[in-house]
């Protein structure tokens, strides 16, 4: 088997390859790319990009493999939104189970997409996982205590 020299790819080519591999569910290829870039600064960005695109296509195995590593809150939030939009309940549950600490704005976007696309199981899962910061905000409709 020929060894692919991923280090010879431009940044744009590399990002495109990661996006395509994650979207296609090619965990082996993703692992090869990430291993080749183990000591480079953009490795975390590559993992985050892979999680975002795997979530959109519902590739649970990739999500499970990559969430063991450091993925930014922004990338986790975008992955939650993608899973909610496309109706991938298992992916969404895996993201939430693995500390997908997402911003309230991302949670609201995910909920809106789930409602719009009639993914009621996703709506329910999100309702059970409201970000903590949202629990402490007083609704403008709440009455003040006497």
Confidence of residue 52 (pLDDT cuts 50, 70, 90): very high
- Residues 6 or more apart whose CB falls under 8 angstroms from that of 44 comprise 69, 70, 71, 72
Contacts of residue 108, defined as CB under 8 A and 6 or more positions apart, other chains included, come to none
Domain 9-135 top-level CATH class? mainly alpha
Q: What is the pLDDT of residue 138?
A: 43
**Quick one: pLDDT at residue 34?**
85
* 81 Cβ neighbours under 8 A, 6+ residues apart: 106, 109, 110, 113
Contacts of 30 (CB under 8 A, 6+ apart): 18, 21, 22, 50, 62, 66
Average pLDDT over residues 61-83: 90
Above 90 in pLDDT, residue 50? yes
Mean pLDDT, the chain, as a whole number? Answer: 84
Task: Report whether 64 contacts 94 (CB < 8 A).
Answer: yes
Enumerate the domain spans of the chain. Answer: 9-135
Return the number of other C-beta atoms located less than 10 Å from residue 53's C-beta.
23
**3 state SS of 106:** helix
Where does the pLDDT of residue 20 fall: very low under 50, low under 70, confident under 90, or very high at 90 and above?
A: very high
């Amino acid at each position: 088997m020929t060894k692919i020299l991923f280090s010879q790819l431009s940044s744009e080519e590399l990002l495109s390859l990661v996006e395509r591999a994650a979207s296609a569910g090619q965990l082996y290829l993703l692992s090869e790319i990430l291993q080749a870039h183990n000591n480079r600064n953009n490795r975390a960005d590559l993992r985050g990009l892979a999680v975002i695109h795997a979530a959109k296509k519902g590739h649970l195995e990739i999500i499970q493999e990559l969430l063991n590593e450091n993925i930014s809150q922004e990338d986790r939030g975008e992955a939650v939104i993608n899973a909610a939009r496309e109706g991938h309940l298992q992916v969404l549950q895996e993201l939430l189970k693995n500390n997908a600490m997402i911003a309230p704005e991302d949670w609201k976007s995910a909920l809106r997409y789930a409602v719009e696309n009639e993914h009621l199981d996703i709506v329910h899962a999100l309702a059970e996982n409201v970000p903590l910061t949202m629990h402490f905000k007083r609704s403008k409709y709440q009455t003040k205590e006497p």
